[in-house]
Structure 1
Amino acid sequence: MEATYRALCEHGYASLRMQDIADETTKTKAALHYHYDTKHELLLAFLEFIHEEFVENLETIEGDDPVTRLRTYIHERLTPHDEQQHQRFQTALLEIKAQAPYDDAYHERLAEFDRRSYAFVHELLIEGIENGTVRSDIDAERVGEFFVTTINGAETRHVAINHPIEETRDFLLGYIDTTLLAEESPEVAAR
């Protein structure tokens, strides 16, 4: 799976060949074909692999309260750690996403990312409402959808037109402060 990641970053989706993936490992192309008949099957397994990593990362997001965890999540999603590698991978992933309307298997795996992202943000908002750090009058479902859509859109704009992803990150972090925090929350009181 790591070799698939490296090959995707290097060649993109459209140009990727099984040989390119094999070249990133000590395995032969024939060995890859023993486990995966086609590039499509291998990429489906790769999407499953990165989904599992994504879920594991969600479970380790740190913070003493839901607002801090939401901020950390936004920061992690919208801050490239290695700009060039991030851009290459996000470009390859965007190419896979472009296939989803025509490929049910890609569609379902990508939809699972979306469902998990939404569930994570929604749960944080509900927890924040319940513990008094998030305003009780917000619609957690709609705000959760807003965050997921904005994050996904920021990643796409960053890849497609090189729009600075940190601008969206900073806007969302500011939105939390100006719109979501409960007046009684310690964070509002500290302002």
Structure 2
Amino acid sequence: MTTGDEIVDATFTALYEHGYADLTMEAIGEEFDKSTSLIHYHFDSKADLLATCLETIHDEFLEDLEHDPETDPEQRLLRLAELVVGGTGDDGVDEFHTALLELRAQAPYDEALREQLARNDAVWREHIADIVRDGIEQGVFREVDPEHFAALFRSAIEGAQSHNVILGEDAPSEDAMAGIEELLVHELLVESERTEGADA
């Protein structure tokens, strides 16, 4: 793990522990095993550090997905939903998702965060759209607009993730996942294709 990666990890830990309002370079330094001066050496400001955190975590998550051995388009979508939505830890709250929600909440007031989140979102939607295109080409999904579906799917899984963080054990996570699987994936993409094939 590089020094930059260690700083990113320390930042997310500090963000979860202190919240955005009380997040300082000193608080991050308390979670960092090396000299705090290294944080200032690698990053010009807290805003620069937080934008980099968003970019790094986003890239690592997509890299993990790209190395997923699952090739079936339907299962790829469902696995993606599970990874994004199912982020509760043993105590009912996932530290990473809590910290991520803190950053998202600041985006309307922080141009650097908003721009990075917009870039991340565009990549996410294109990744989902690519899965849908693969499914259409393989004949397992019906013809839909991949970009429209990607925007809907992305909004659904991100909303369910936020519910997990905000509501904890009271979040309707299982219902959300059931709806994503049954209504978004099966009915919009899969079942319609099977029905059309049977009618033919």
TM-score bin (small chain): 0.7 to 0.9
Offset at 1:53? Answer: 0.7
Query: Of residues 113, 116, 129 in structure 1, which corresponds to 2:120?
Result: 113
> Which moved further from structure 2: 118-127 or 49-58?
49-58
User: 2:185 matched to 1:179?
Assistant: no
Q: Which blocks of at least 5 consecutive residues in structure 2 are unaligned?
A: 1-7
* Counterpart pick for 1:127 among 106, 109, 134: 134
Q: 1:168 matched to which residue of 2?
A: 176
Q: For the residues of structure 2 that align with 1:183 and 1:56, how far apart are their CA atoms?
A: 32
Query: How many pairs align?
Result: 186
Deviations 1:8-63 (A, max 9, x none): 22222222221222112222333322322432222122122112212212312332
2:40 to 10, 23, 33: 33
Aligned position for 1:65: 72
Report the CA distance between 1:184 and its aligned residue.
Answer: 7.0
Residue 147 of structure 1 is matched in structure 2 by 153
Secondary structure of residue in 2 paired with 1:183? helix
Structure 1: which amino acid aligns with 2:43? Y
Quickly say closer, same or farther: Cα 1:27–1:9, change in 2 above 3 A: same
Question: Structure 2 CA distance, aligned partners of 1:58 and 1:109?
Answer: 20
- Report deviation, 1:109: 0.8
In angstroms, what is the RMSD of aligned CA positions?
Answer: 2.4
Normalising by structure 1, we get a TM-score of: 0.85
Fraction of identical pairs, as percent: 36
Structure 1 CA distance for aligned equivalents of residues 63 and 86 of structure 2: 18
The corresponding residue for 1:76 is: 83
Distance 2:83 2:97 in 1: 14
Matching of residue 16 in structure 1 with residue 23 in structure 2: yes
Question: What secondary structure does 2:75 align onto?
Answer: helix
Unaligned runs of at least 5 residues, structure 1: none
Instruction: Report deviation, 1:67.
Output: 1.3
Secondary structure in structure 1 of the residue aligned to 2:19 = helix
